[in-house]
Amino acid sequence: MTVTIYDVAREANVSMATVSRVVNGNQNVKPATRKKVLEVIERLEYRPNAVARGLASKKTTTVGVIIPDISNNIYAEAARGIEDIATMYRYNIILANSDQNEDKELNLLDTMLGKQVDGIVMMSDAVTEKLHQSMDHSPVPIVLAGSVDETDKFPSVNIDYFQASLEAVQMLIANGHKRIAIVTGPLAYTINSKFKIEAYKKALSDANIVIDEKLIISDDDTYDSGLEAWESLSELEQPPTAFFAGSDELAIGLIHGAQDNGKKVPDEIEVISFENSKLARMVRPQLTSVVLPLYDIGAVAMRLLTKLMNKENIEDQSVIIPHRIEMRNSVK
């Protein structure tokens, strides 16, 4: 039924080894022979069986990608970066959603390794002990993208979340605010608890502003959470006049909450976001935001992985991509 390398060999009057050579671009084939084989391949519509090839060569040219949720723009952006570079290096991608659930992450790792992927790119907002152990047992390289492993034992690609957050809050402080709130996603995510909030505290301390725990809110990373955060925060005796939002959706929720309350942004209320997705330009006022270069993070992570799979020497396993703040109109 399906045509195999054997059929091609027979039709072309050569051995299967020769066919294999032309298919794999091996130079040790006489041009005339190559031509003949190529013709038969075309005529028979021969298509190499990658599974057989994988079994024989122990390489599948496919990498696994484990991300929390592809329908979330942040991860989709990274996935695109990963896929683009993968394609460039002729790898295919097995993509799966973990929903940030440890059991799923563990299972996915296992089934991907079972499928003999040549490497894995992993995004996880909380690299737990167990995950860490499983990753340690992997026979193929794994790189973390936009995910912090506190032990710093795995190759990873990130920006300096702490520094970026610090700069964001300092911008608000520089504009004269004393009552500054921070609204982030789940505390279970390392980036929120260890970096955004810690940086926020440091920025305030450095400016001798007393830290008011009531101004620190961590819930979801969503628009509705932003709306809710505004609700509760605006009811405080001394409500905040500026906000550091952990994501664009959060920032937009905060802004709409403020506007629905008759407050002007940025005249009365200033908001700085952390993400800079395309949403940032789709609100009025447009968001001033720390730019989190997800596409680049994904792309660089995949590139790092190709090197690792290729057993190239890596200078530094923890790469930090530069960040910057995109100035728009939610901050004066």
Partner DNA sequence: ATGAAAGCGCTAACAG
Partner DNA sequence: CTGTTAGCGCTTTCAT
Query: Which residue, among 192, 155, 109, has the nearest Cα to 312 in the 3D structure?
Result: 155
CA gap 48, 329 in Å, rounded: 55
**Contact status, residue 78 vs residue 145, Cβ threshold 8 Å:** yes
According to CB under 8 A, which one of 19, 36, 37, 77 is a site residue for a copy of itself?
Answer: 77
x/- letters, 275..314, toward a copy of itself (CB under 8 A): ---xx-xxxx----------x-------------------
313 binds, among a copy of itself, DNA, none (CB under 5 to 8 A by kind): none
Residue with Cβ nearer DNA (23 or 96): 23
The position carrying tokens 């296992």 is: 110
- Contacts (CB under 8 A) with a copy of itself, residues 38-67: 45, 47-52, 54-55, 60, 62
CA gap 212, 88 in Å, rounded: 49
CA gap 146, 149 in Å, rounded: 10
Residue with Cβ nearer DNA (2 or 208): 2
CA gap 100, 106 in Å, rounded: 11
Nearest approach, Cβ of 266 to a copy of itself (angstroms)? 17
x/- letters, 25..64, toward DNA (CB under 7 A): --xxxx-xxx-----------x-xx--xx-xxxx------
In 3-state terms, what secondary structure has residue 41? helix
Enumerate the β-bridge partners of residue 289.
Answer: 273, 326
x/- letters, 215..244, toward a copy of itself (CB under 8 A): --------x---------------------
- The first and second tokens of residue 224, run together, are 């509705």
CA gap 157, 299 in Å, rounded: 9
CA gap 44, 6 in Å, rounded: 12
Query: For residue 192, what is the DSSP state?
Result: I
Indicate whether 310 belongs to the interface with DNA (CB under 7 A).
no
Q: Which residues make up the interface to DNA (CB under 7 A)?
A: 2, 4-6, 13-18, 20-21, 23-24, 27-30, 32-34, 46, 48-49, 52-53, 55-58
Q: Which residues make up the interface to a copy of itself (CB under 8 A)?
A: 2, 45, 47-52, 54-55, 60, 62, 69-73, 76-77, 79-80, 83-84, 87, 92-97, 110-116, 137, 139, 223, 249, 252, 256, 259, 278-279, 281-284, 295
